[in-house]
Structure 1
C-alpha cells in the first residue's frame, strides 16, 4: 500500500532550513483557544518523552475532543538526550511560527522532526494514516539546483550519469536496508562509501519512526531512495525528508561516530569520460609502441621461468608435484578475489589456530558436508565462525574456491558476511561473522524452540530471505543462483534476522540465460525443483521453488520431506495445495501461532509459497514478484496450479518405506519410494 501510493508523488526542492509543511488551511485555531492550550501542553510532553526515551522518540496527545492535539517527535539516532530535548523544544515553537495558527504542521530540523495535528495520525496499524503522513511530508528536500555537483558529473554524458547515479543508489539502498532490518528497534543507520580515484568519500544516513514495522520501514526508504537518485542530479549532497522515514547523503561526514555500515562501491573508480576520450586518442600510437616490446619481454621471461622450473622439479617425486599443485590452487584463489570487498582478509593459519584454541572440541559448533565448523575469537574480541575443509576433499576444495571467489564480492544484510579465508597447503578455511542463534532449522523443527518464533518474527524471516534472494538474482554486481536454499542454510543473528549462507554450490549466470543445464546435480532432496532434479536444468526459478518450500516449512513448522506422511501425500507441498484448494488452509499453520490476529498475512504467505512451488518453472513468479506479493496488501494474488510431485500419493491401504540409495552421479542422497 505504501509503495503504490508513494510512487505517484514528486517533491519540490526547498532551500532554507528548517523545512516545514503546513496542513490544510481550513484546520486552524486561535490564540488562547482550548486547542492552543492543549498544543502547549503537548509540546511539553513531547520534549520530555523524547528526552527520556532510549530511541529519542515520542508520541503523545493532549486534551479532549474536539480539541485533542496529537503529536510525534523523533530525534536523529546519533544525538544525545540533551541535544534531542533542545531540538524538540525548538521544533515545537518553530512549527507554530512557520505555520501560524495551522492545526496541522510538520517541521524538519537538522537533528529532529516533529508533527502535531488535530487528526490522529499516530496508530501504526492504520496504513491509510501512515500513507497520509508520508504524502504530506514527501515534498521537501534541502538541496537546490545550484548545489555543486560531484566530480566528473556530466549531465550530457550517459556513461557519467549512469556510473555516478549507481554509486549514490547503492549507498542509499544499502544504508536503508541496514536501518530497516539490521538496527533493531532504533531503525537508524549511517554509511560510508570510498570510491577512490579522486572521487570523494560519501556518507549516508537512513532512519524510520520506530513505530513502523521493518517491512513498512523498508518500503518507505526504498521508494524515497529511488526518488532521491532520480532527482538529485549528481549533487554533492541531499536529503529526502518524510515524517515516517528519511534519507541523506553528503560528501561531508555529517553524523557523529563511525558508520554502521561500510558500503562497497559498485564501480572501482570514476574516470572522467572527457579526459578518458582525449587520453585514448592522444596516446594510442605511443602506447602500442611501448607496450608491444614490453609485452614480448615479459612473455620471454615467463617462458624462461617455466622452463627452469620444469627442469628443477623433473624427477622430484609426487610430494613436490603435490606441493606445486597446492601453490597453483592458492594462487588461483587469490587471483579470483579481484573486485572483492576491501574488508575481506586473507588470514594466516597460526591466526586461525589461536582464534579457535587449536580447533578444540569445546569450540566445535557442528559438522557439515564441507567439514567441521568452529567458533573462534580474534585478539580484538571479534567472534567468528570458522569452516574448515575436511582433508583430502577434492570436491570440497572446488566449493571452497567457489564460495571465496563469489561471496567475497557480495554484500547484503540478508547474506552471511564472509570476513576472510585461509589457504595454506592442505588447510582450506572460510571465516564468517559469528551468528549466535545458529540456523533456522534448529527453531522451526524443534518443539520447544518453535514457539519462540511468533508470527511477526517468522514473517520478517520470510521477507528477509526473499530480499536476500532478490539481491542475488537481480541487484548484486554478479547474478547468482544459490542452488541449495534450505532451513539449515539460513542463519539467524542476535535479533533473529535471517542471513543466507553456504554458497559452495552457487552459480553465476548471465542475464541472457533463462536456463542452464548441468550434468552434475547437487542440492538437497525436498528443496530441489523438479526440472533440476530430473533433467539438470536450473535457473532463478529453481531458487524460487526452494524459497516456496522453505516458506511452507516456516508457516507450518513441519519438514517438507520426512519419514512421516502428510495426509495422502509424501511431502508437504501436495498436502498444502490440497488443503488450499479445499479452503482448509488453516490446517497447515503451526498450532503455536496466533492465527486470528494475522489471518490475512498468513494466508498471503501460503498463497505466495504455493505459487513458488508450481510444477512448471514458467508458472513460478520471480523474486521481484514475490517481494511485491509479501509487501503489497492490496495486491491480488493468482490461484496456484498444482505443485511439483503432486501426483505421487499414498493410498490408505498402502504404506511406504524410504530406501536411501547413494548416487555417485548426482553427489547426493536420493530417496526412492517403494510400496510394500
Structure 2
C-alpha cells in the first residue's frame, strides 16, 4: 500500500496515514459507498455515539451488514487513534477479536468498517436495553468470559508484536448472532516490542476497569489487561457495574462490594439475581478464583491470560490460584471525579457512550437503505 491509494472518491490518502497492515481480507471503501449503505448516516441507523464520533448500521449493495465508525474530529488525537485501530485490526485474526472489514480515508473523513454484531455489546445485556429480557444465562456468560479471555490470550502471547488492549470493558465485548464474544475497539491499544515488559504512557481507558499502577502512574503492561478482565469477569457473574453510586453520592467499586462476600465464601450471594439461582456452583467458584487473582494489587502476582483461560476451562482445577481473597482497590477522590467521563483525561465512558458503540439506540428504528419503503431491513437476532 502506498500513498497513491484512493478512497472517498478522488481524494488522496496521506502517506503518513496509510496503515501497514498485513492481510487482504479487508478493502478500501469509498465515502459514497458508505454514505449509501448507511442511508446518508441518518439518525435511524445510528448504533452509538461517544467522544470519538458515531457508529452507524449499514448494508452494502451485496447484502453485507456493516457497522461504520465515523470520527467526528480530525485533530492529532483522533488521527492517532484511527491509525492505531486500523493498524491493529489489520494485524489480528482471531474468532474472538472484531476484525477489520475496511476503511475510508479522505481529506476530512476517517471511517472504519466492521461486521455488524446482531446482539450488540455485552454491556447492553448486563446494564442496557436487553437487561430485562435476560438473554444471557449462566452458560452464555461463561462462554463469553472464556471467549473474551482467549481473544486477550491471542493479543498477549500469539500475535507479534504483542498487543495491550488498554480498554477492556463490557461495551467493548460485542456479541454475534450466536452470542460468540468479539473484543473490539483498539483505538487505545499499544504494540509492545519484543523484550519490553512494560511502558509508561498517558492514561487511557475507563475508570473502574483500570489497574491501580496504570491509573495512578501510567505504567502499562499486559497485566493491566488482566486486571481489567478480572473486573469484567466479576461484572459478568454479578451483573453489577464496575463503579456504582450509593445514596449520598458515594461511589463504590465492584471489588469493594465483592471482597467481604468472597472472604466469607458467600459465593451464591455474588451471582446476578436475574439468573434466579440457575448457575453452576463449581464454575462459579473457579470464576471467582480467577477474578480474585486477576485484580490483585501487585501486577506480578496476577496470572497471565494463558493461566486465566486454563483455569476458566477447568484444566487446572487444583491450580495454584485457590486462596480466594480480593485486595480491593479504592480509587482516590481525584480519580473518581473523572468517572463522570472526560475525553481530555482519557475516560470515554460518558453518558453518550454508556452502552458502547453497538447498542445505544433502539434497534427497531433501523431501516435498510437498499430496500423499498415499507419493507423491513432489520438485523436477525439470536
Length-normalised TM-score, structure 2: 0.81
Write 1 or 2 for the structure with the bigger share of helix.
1
**In the alignment, which residue of structure 1 is the partner of 2:136?**
453
Q: Do the aligned partners of residues 669 and 392 (structure 1) sit closer, same or farther apart at CA in structure 2, a change above 3 Å counting?
A: closer
2:292 corresponding residue in structure 1: 610
Match of 2:223 in 1: 541
Deviation at 1:592, TM superposition (A): 2.4
Supply the distance in 1 between the matched residues of 2:283 and 2:199 (Cα, whole angstroms): 35
Contact 1:576 1:585 in 2 (8 A): no
The yes-or-no answer on 1:666 pairing with 2:341 is no
Task: Give the structure with the higher percent strand.
Answer: 1
How many angstroms apart in 2 are the aligned matches of 1:410 and 1:392? Answer: 25
After TM superposition, the structure 1 = structure 2 runs for residues 469-548 of structure 1, keeping only pairs within 5 Å, are: 469-518=152-201, 520-548=202-230
Instruction: Report if aligned partners of 1:410, 1:477 keep a CA contact under 8 Å in 2.
Output: no
Distance 2:86 2:127 in 1: 30
Matched, 1:643 2:322: no
Judge conservation of contact 2:237–2:272 (CA < 8 Å) in 1: yes
User: Could you list the per-position Cα deviations for residues 382-424 of structure 1 after superposition, in whole angstroms to 9, with x for gaps in the alignment?
Assistant: 1110000103443112101111111111111001121110001
Alpha-carbon distance between aligned partners in 1 of 2:187 and 2:332, rounded to the nearest angstrom: 31
- CA–CA distance in 2 between the matches of 1:603 and 1:407? 34
Look up the SS of the partner of 1:441 in the other structure: helix
Distance 1:670 1:343 in 2: 31
- The Cα shift of 1:597 comes to 5.2
The residue that corresponds to 1:620 in the other structure is 302
CA RMSD of aligned residues (A): 2.6
Q: Conserved in 2, the CA contact under 8 Å of 1:466 and 1:626? A: yes
Q: 1:645 to 1:631 in 2, by over 3 A?
A: same
CA contact (8 A) 2:138 2:278 kept: no
Between the two proteins, the alignment pairs up a number of residues equal to 333
Cα distance change on mapping 1:632 and 1:642 into 2, 3 Å: closer
Q: 1:551 to 1:537 in 2, by over 3 A?
A: same
Assess, with a 3 A threshold, how the Cα gap between structure 1 residues 662 and 460 changes in structure 2: closer, same or farther. Answer: closer
Alignment counterpart, residue 379 of structure 1, candidates 61, 65, 78: 61
> Could you say which residue in structure 2 is the equivalent of 1:436?
118
> Stretches of 4+ moved more than 6 A in 1?
657-665
Give secondary structure in 1 for the equivalent of 2:33. Answer: helix
Residue in structure 1 matching 2:268, options 572, 579, 586: 586
Aligned pairs for 1:140-539 within 5 A: 330-334=14-18, 336-339=19-22, 341-446=23-128, 448-449=131-132, 451-518=134-201, 520-539=202-221
Largest Rg, 1 or 2: 1
Contact 2:205 2:348 in 1 (8 A): no
1:303-353: CA deviation from partner (whole Å, max 9, x where unpaired):
xxxxxxxxxxxxxxxxxxxxxxx96x732232x3242x2111111111111
Counterpart of 1:452 in 2: which secondary structure?
Answer: coil
Out of 554, 557, 561, the position equivalent to 2:239 is 557
Judging changes above 3 Å, is the alpha-carbon distance between structure 1 residues 560 and 352 closer, same or farther for their aligned structure 2 residues? same
Structure 2 equivalent of residue 600 of structure 1:
282
- C-alpha change, 1:647 and 1:373, in structure 2 (3 Å) is closer
CA distance in 2, matches of 1:622, 1:589: 25
RCO higher in structure (CA 8 A, sep ≥6): 2
Structure 1: stretches of 5+ with no match in the other structure: 1-325, 650-656, 672-676
How far did residue 435 of structure 1 move?
Answer: 0.6
Does the C-alpha gap of structure 1 residues 422 and 552 become closer, same or farther in structure 2, counting only changes over 3 Å?
Answer: same
CA contact (8 A) 1:660 1:669 kept: no
Report the alpha carbon displacement of residue 510 of structure 1 after superposing the two structures with TM.
2.2
Partner of 1:175: none
